[in-house]
Amino acid sequence: MTQTQDHAFLGVAQSATGRRWIGPSVEEDRLSEAMAQTSDMPAPLCRTLVRRGVNAEEAAGFLAPTLRDLLPDPHALRDMEKAAARFLQAVRDREKIAIFADYDVDGGASAALLMTWLRAMDLPATLYIPDRIDEGYGPNEAAMKQLADDHQLIICVDCGTLSHGPIAAATGADVIVLDHHLGGETLPPAWAVVNPNRQDEDGALGHLCAAGVVFLMLVEANRQMRAQDHKGPDLMGMLDLVALATVADVAPLTGVNRAFVRQGLAVMARRQRVGLTALADIAGLDQAPNSYHLGFLLGPRVNAGGRIGKADLGARLLATDDPAEAQALAERLDQLNTERREVEANVREQAMEQATTRGIDGPLVWAAGEGWHPGVVGIVAARLKEATNRPAIVIGLDGDEGKGSGRSVSGIDLGAAIQRTAHEGLLIKGGGHKMAAGLTVARDQLDAAMARLGDLLAKQGAADIGPADLRIDSLLMPGAASIELVNQMENAGPFGAGAPAPRFAFPDVQILFAKQVGANHLKISFGDGMGARIDAISFGAMDGPIGPMLLQHNGARFHLAGRLEINTWQGRQSVQLRLEDAVAAH
């Protein structure tokens, strides 16, 4: 039996947050030691690579991923050739093109990809993004009829796979769907439906977000143009949009997604897209961006328009080439994001209280409240999921209906369960993918629908999940946590969904300084008594057990666990630990 299955790392069977620490298995230890001996890579990097399933022969290629090596053949997706050909026909014939996009980052980035490409071909496109509250997710019949009256081609991005009625209503126009949400048993009557999660696809590219699908369609379009001795627009410069969408949509950073994000971050660092540059500046991003910044600084601001403001603000920001417009949009989105945080905090407090009262030990954690803003229920569902390690659904009730959003945990397919519940008639509609989904439910069916969803999730094992173990990649002493090591570790990234950043345990350290910062955060410095000292930050620590324990340390020693990062302050760089867990060292 391996150590991962059998032993708590550093003997931590229950940390301050109630978790067992799990270290590398005996086999992982053996492989990482062998890799370190046969290469000049540091041991922590070797441990991270082994955790990723990378062997010594693959290490060099993994640390320098290229899009050329990892980009799949667009023809691997059904309808791709047909979609690109129709798209190019519209460009050649100077047809009027409308882009119908979802209101989140993935939808906005997907629309901006198409608009950027078309602008390079001197062909403007009409952008249509539905209002989250008035129209809801995806195409609707009224909007599609209106667009079809004035356009020859409508491209639905990040939506449309389940929109049979609305697409049928677009009489007089051809419709192309570029999506990644779970498909149904039948496809809508579109010219082409390109979606790696169609029922008749093998799922090999199911990890792509919609922007990834759009990018592959543009790759195919450029390929078809080359075959006719024409040159298409530069695609490599558009990878910043694909990277942002991939991270913000929590797509797993594996395979081609990893190359998309790695190379997209390099494009973003050149600050050539005026919308993202304006947004980075207003968000206070004063260093080359990484995946954390995409997910937690830029993504939420792009999303803010679709959540509580005007739905098209984010897509317009990403697509614009006008610096003045970019500045105005970035300022508005930053303001809306501040408002969104206030609304979210209020709903989160109520939802957590309600869910706790109902019980958080079952296969589904859920909460529903009167007038909860539809724009924040997804974020609150994510917070419930993180707090309980259970699939979570949060619903805002209005009149006879409720609109909700759900987030799942690894290994539990929430989208399929919601789709089945809708098929059985307990939901008005619902769909999504494994980790995130949306639904509309009649108020008088709410309890029955949630009970049925709970049953379906229980059959997948959701009721048997315990508190999440904390996986530790490596032991580290403070003196070894250098800027050079953090930079070397970054080569194993980018880190995010499906590829978590390496987590280090610092054993038997002393708290040298501790202070509450902001409303509920904790800042500390710690050392091992050998002269080395590291700063650490723990967000939200004062709302849980870690903050009070370390603030009142009374000279005790602790094992600390977290992820290393480089902190830039007034032009100076230092190593900082993003502290996640702690336990008294005995």
Q: What CATH number corresponds to the domain at position 53?
A: 2.40.50.460
Q: Are 446 and 402 in contact (CB under 8 A)?
A: yes
How many domains is the chain partitioned into structurally? 3
The pair of three-digit structure tokens given for residue 274, joined into one six-digit string: 């005026």
Find the domain containing 439 and state its range: 359-464
Q: Quick one: average pLDDT of 457-463? A: 93
Percentage with pLDDT > 90 across the chain: 83
pTM (predicted TM-score): 0.89
137/162 Cα distance (integer angstroms): 11
Q: Is residue 436 part of a domain?
A: yes
528/151 Cα distance (integer angstroms): 68
CB hemisphere CA count around 282 (13 angstroms): 23
Q: Is residue 429 part of a domain?
A: yes
Q: Is residue 511 part of a domain?
A: yes
105/29 Cα distance (integer angstroms): 39
Q: Is residue 306 part of a domain?
A: yes
DSSP string, 166-218: HHHT-TTSEEEEE--SPP-SS--S-SEEE-TTSTTS-STTTT--HHHHHHHHH
According to the model, what pLDDT value does residue 372 have?
96
Helix-helix angle 299-308:105-120, to 10 degrees: 100
According to the model, what pLDDT value does residue 1 have?
30
- Looking at 464, 490, 507, the residue that finishes a domain is 464
Looking at the structure, tell me whether residues 421 and 506 fall in a common domain: no
What mean pLDDT is reported for the chain?
A: 94
Looking at the structure, tell me whether residues 494 and 547 fall in a common domain: yes
| DSSP 8-state assignment for residue 499 | B
User: What 3-state class would DSSP assign to 119?
Assistant: helix
According to the model, what pLDDT value does residue 485 have?
94
217/99 Cα distance (integer angstroms): 14
Q: What CATH number corresponds to the domain at position 406?
A: 3.10.310.30
Q: Is residue 341 part of a domain?
A: no
Looking at the structure, tell me whether residues 576 and 458 fall in a common domain: no
- Looking at 464, 497, 512, the residue that finishes a domain is 464
According to the model, what pLDDT value does residue 197 have?
95
Looking at the structure, tell me whether residues 146 and 291 fall in a common domain: yes
345/351 Cα distance (integer angstroms): 10
Task: Tell whether the model's pLDDT for residue 40 goes beyond 90.
Answer: no
Q: Is residue 414 part of a domain?
A: yes
User: Which residue, among 247, 235, 335, has the nearest Cα to 289 in the 3D structure?
Assistant: 247
Q: Is residue 510 part of a domain?
A: yes
User: What 3-state class would DSSP assign to 312?
Assistant: coil
Looking at the structure, tell me whether residues 364 and 433 fall in a common domain: yes
Q: Is residue 143 part of a domain?
A: yes
Task: Tell whether the model's pLDDT for residue 2 goes beyond 70.
Answer: no
Looking at the structure, tell me whether residues 423 and 529 fall in a common domain: no
- Looking at 464, 490, 521, the residue that finishes a domain is 464
Q: Quick one: average pLDDT of 268-280? A: 97
Distances (CA, A) of 424 to 174, 421, 428, 452: 31, 5, 10, 10
Q: What CATH number corresponds to the domain at position 87?
A: 3.90.1640.30
Q: Quick one: average pLDDT of 242-265? A: 95
Task: Tell whether the model's pLDDT for residue 433 goes beyond 80.
Answer: yes
Task: Tell whether the model's pLDDT for residue 141 goes beyond 80.
Answer: yes
Residues in the chain, total:
586
